[in-house]
Structure 1
Amino acid sequence: MPEKAATTSPRKGLLLRLLRGLSWLLIIVALAGVAVYLAFGPAHMIDRLKPPPPAFPEKVIEDPAAAAKPAVSPSPAAMQQAPADSQELATLMLDSIEDIWGEFLARADYAYKRPKVVSFRDRLESPCQLKGTFSGPLYCSSTSHLYLDMGYLDDLQKHAPQVGDLARSYVVAHAAAHHIQKLVGVVGWFRDLNADLAPAQGRESLRITQELVADCLVGSWISYARRKYAWLEPEQLEAALRAVRERDAARVGAGLPPMADPLDLPDPAARLRWLNVGIDSGDPRECSKLFTVEE
């Protein structure tokens, strides 16, 4: 007698349909998860967690009638010649930076705190937790120490006398501009962002940007300081930057210790461009554009 054909019970058919529906639901959820991961996952975590750039203080406006454009020439009472002694020049420039930036920072409820200046000549042992012997200017943000190499400044004056006063002033002001970045939070912003970046994601680019921000801040200072110090001539900045780069290379070739913070990293044209942004505007807030501009 033939066996009866097997029949699927209603309960078993319902279970199969439920399993099939659950399988499709799991596939849809998995695809959605992949899409969310690709759109918002670790690859984009830096962009989402990146801290907002710090705000620079408002510009100094000594004369409301002149607010649209800073003075373009020294005042009649401006000091015409820089001190020959590099130590004296450095002190003069740091006093000027304190006066002008003290006003800048006060307008944004910051307080200017003068860095601890350490003068030396040609050789500096283990500054700022660095191991070895170094030369040249250096700002150490962890201790707010500003190291100024008087031998380096004298070399600039000796080998580029036509622009030596401006070149020496620029070197001092650039090192001090890194201190300004610390006071307004730029150094911390770069440090936090740098810690989250892999080398391939642009750590070198961040360093270059920080250097150019310093140059732009130097330009903001020059736009006002040039009224008092006639040798701060923007027209001579290109030659002064060239002299700085040449002395950096020459000192290494002469067997002196390596520069602690060489000034030859960014392209010279980029340095000059952002110096002029600060000079032309007289407004340090213009320097914040470097947080979004690719150099």
Structure 2
Amino acid sequence: MDWQKGEQSQNVEVDSGGGGGGRGFGGGGRLGIGGLIIMALLGWIFFKNPLALLDQSGGQPGAYAPNSQPAQVDPQQKLFVEKILGSTETTWNGIFSSMGRTYVDPKLDLFSGGVNTACGAASTAVGPFYCPGDQKVYLDLGFFQELDTRFHSSGDFARAYVIAHEVGHHVQKLLGVFDKVAQLQRQGAPMEGAQGLSVRQELQADCFAGVWANRTQQRLQWLQPGDVESALNAASQIGDDTLQREARGTVVPDSFTHGTSAQRVQWFKTGLQSGDIQQCNTFDGPV
């Protein structure tokens, strides 16, 4: 992937650690919807459902994230993130403009150890995530190493997919998907489970990442042989069924939050092949 071709974003921030205006979780590190269940099953969460980060504990404003520290960021890695984020800004600004809407660029916070957000305090174990409360993507760059070694998903395009997925959640925020999910939940629709709202929301973010990949490739022609396969492999490695089977030797569909490996690949490919946001409606019919 010739990522140097990407437009360079000015919206990447390096977290100074320790402070921040987010609300902390009482007791330091409690997770919300489904978080404790999945943590118990898997020991960590990849692409954490942002709704599960909302403070459910009555934490006090200004509480510090556990293990937060000034982020040590390699300049080349920071440039990579800036280029990928910049490409999402150009792509989504164009898509929103074609729909007669205005796209608001998100910020991306690079942190180490832990971070305070408008959704609560979070540690590196949460993985990359998006907070709708402050419209920021949060990323510990150490995760890229884990993506390579633990999930055998090396390559720049696999890492770009991680960022594009989280930006996909920002797109959902701007389109009102978060409000729709909250409304459906109030009406009794389940969050977890193979057909739950969380799975549908995550699969749509995968599809949006595919739309970004399609549109950006048309503009920049920056993909090289093997790049698409690396991103599809990353999507496959983090399906609920694959992770649960590796962690427990069995699969529990009632606890799914992100979708199966096959579903994640399918919806990423749907966006990648079509480049059409209208093809990403995961809330209509079975997924």
- TM-score, structure 2 as length reference: 0.61
Q: 1:132 to 1:107 in 2, by over 3 A?
A: closer
- CA-CA distance at 1:286 after TM superposition: 0.7
Q: Which amino acid aligns with 2:191?
A: R
Alignment counterpart, residue 281 of structure 1, candidates 263, 274, 279: 274
Q: Which amino acid aligns with 2:84?
A: M
What is the aligned residue count? 201
Moved more, 132-141 or 231-240: 231-240
Partner of 2:52 in structure 1?
A: none
Is residue 114 of structure 2 the alignment partner of residue 124 of structure 1?
A: yes
Q: Tell me how far 1:112 sits from its aligned partner.
A: 1.4
Aligned to 2:261: 268
Distance 1:155 1:97 in 2: 23
104, 108, 132: which is aligned to 1:113? Answer: 104
Counterpart for residue 226 of structure 1: 217
Quick one: percent identity of the two aligned structures? Answer: 27
Give SS of 2:264's match: helix
Deviation at 1:284, TM superposition (A): 0.6
Instruction: Indicate how the Cα distance of structure 1 residues 209 and 160 shifts in structure 2: closer, same or farther if over 3 A, else same.
Output: closer
- Code of the residue aligned with 2:233 in structure 1: it is A
Return closer, same or farther for 1:81/1:114 CA change in 2, 3 Å cut-off.
Answer: closer
| 1:139–1:176 contact (8 Å) kept in structure 2 | yes
Contact 2:115 2:123 in 1 (8 A): yes
AA in 2 matched with 1:114: D
Please tell me whether the aligned partners of residues 199 and 257 of structure 2 are also in contact (alpha carbons under 8 angstroms): no
- Corresponding position: 1:172 with 2:160: no
Q: Following the alignment from structure 2 to structure 1, what is the Cα–Cα distance between the partners of residues 283 and 214?
A: 22
Q: Which residue type is aligned with residue 190 of structure 2? A: G
Higher helix share: 1
- Structure 1 equivalent of residue 232 of structure 2: 238
Task: Say whether the 8 Å CA contact 1:81–1:230 is kept in structure 2.
Answer: no
Aligned-pair CA distance for 1:264: 7.3
Instruction: Say if 2:271 and 2:279, in contact at 8 Å, map to a contact too.
Output: yes
Kept after mapping to 2: 8 A contact 1:177/1:217: yes
Higher RCO (CA-CA < 8 Å; seq separation 6+):
1
| Aligned pairs for 1:45-60 within 5 A | none
Deviation of the 1:114 alpha carbon: 1.2
Distance across 1 between alignment mates of 2:265 and 2:122: 32
Tell me, what secondary structure is at the counterpart of 1:175?
A: helix
| Rg comparison, structure with higher value | 1
SS in 2 for 1:147: strand
Deviations 1:229-262 (A, max 9, x none): 215833333322245579x97xxx9xxxxxxxxx
Where does residue 85 of structure 2 map in the other structure? 94
Counting only pairs closer than 5 Å after superposition, residues 1-295 of structure 1 correspond to structure 2 as 85-121=76-112, 123-131=113-121, 133-135=123-125, 136-157=127-148, 163-197=154-188, 201-204=189-192, 205-227=196-218, 228=220, 229-231=222-224, 233-243=227-237, 265-288=258-281, 290-295=282-287
Task: Please state whether the residue corresponding to 1:190 is helix, strand or coil.
Answer: helix
Residue type of the alignment partner of 1:235 = E
Structure 1 residues 264 and 237: CA distance shift in structure 2, 3 A = farther
**How has the CA–CA distance of structure 1 residues 81 and 104 changed in structure 2, closer, same or farther, with 3 Å as cutoff?**
closer
2:65 maps to what in 1?
none
Instruction: Say which SS state the counterpart of residue 104 (structure 2) adopts.
Output: coil
Partner of 2:43: none
Deviations 1:2-58 (A, max 9, x none): xxxxxxxxxxxxxxxxxxxxxxxxxxxxxxxxxxxxxxxxxxxxxxxxxxxxxxxxx
Q: Structure 1: any 5+ residue segments left out of the alignment?
A: 1-73, 254-262
User: What's the RMSD between the two structures over aligned residues?
Assistant: 3.2
Give the conservation status (yes or no) of the 8 Å contact 1:167–1:243: no
For 1:207, give the aligned amino acid: S
What is the deviation of 1:189? Answer: 1.2
The secondary structure found in structure 2 opposite 1:146 is strand
Q: Find the aligned partners of 1:284 and 1:113 in 2 and give their Cα distance.
A: 17
